[in-house]
Structure 1
Amino acid sequence: MIENEEGVRQAEQIMRTEGLGAIYVGASDLSIAMGMDCVPDYRNARLLDCIKGLIDLGERCGIPVGAFAPTLEDSLMLQSLGARILWVGSDQGFIKVGCAARAQQYHAESSPRR
């Protein structure tokens, strides 16, 4: 897992580790380490260039690179850059969506008390 600028600097050495199967870019922690918000903003050129560089290095080293994508759009963009392992969404996001859907269902199906 690469989640800070030191990890980025050591990425080639990390990727050349015998038996390594893949690298995960901890984009949230990397964002924080780079002085940005904890939710990765893939429109930020500095973060995007860093992740793209790791993906390119992974391709040269024969190591698949994965990353967290907060949204479907982010996952498609990361895939277009060459990311081969994607975590789309988060447990908190899924819980929020599920709770909202259940509340909407409840309100639609319940009758007002008299």
Structure 2
Amino acid sequence: MLQTQRRQRGEKRQIRQEIKTKVKRRQKQQQQQQQQQQQQQQLQQQQQQQMGEREGDTRRAVHTPELIRQQQQDQQQQQQQQDQQQQQQQDQQQQQQQQQDQQQQQEQDQQQEQQQEQQEP
């Protein structure tokens, strides 16, 4: 009787612990998602503001050369930002690949050293 109660208590404690870790993990993921969403919203708001300002200009002045130039510049800037982001992602991927290669090389070196030690009388 006592043993079963103890076992049940232990199991309950374990289950409680598992639930806690799951909850923490879920909270962390939610925080990260929220941060990403906030960043995206800020970017969208900035772009919408810019577009709104331009549209206001458009209503006042019907496609002046200055306005057309401004719109082209906006598009170029957005394109540049996208290009930069892509470049950064590529750089990160390359760095990760280099790190993996280095690790593999180190592991191979260690294996060779061990083999030599074994072969030596």
* TM-score of the pair, normalised by structure 1: 0.32
Question: More strand by proportion, 1 or 2?
Answer: 1
Of structures 1 and 2, the larger Rg is shown by 2
Question: More helix by proportion, 1 or 2?
Answer: 2
* TM-score of the pair, normalised by structure 2: 0.31
Higher relative contact order (CA 8 A, sep 6+): 1
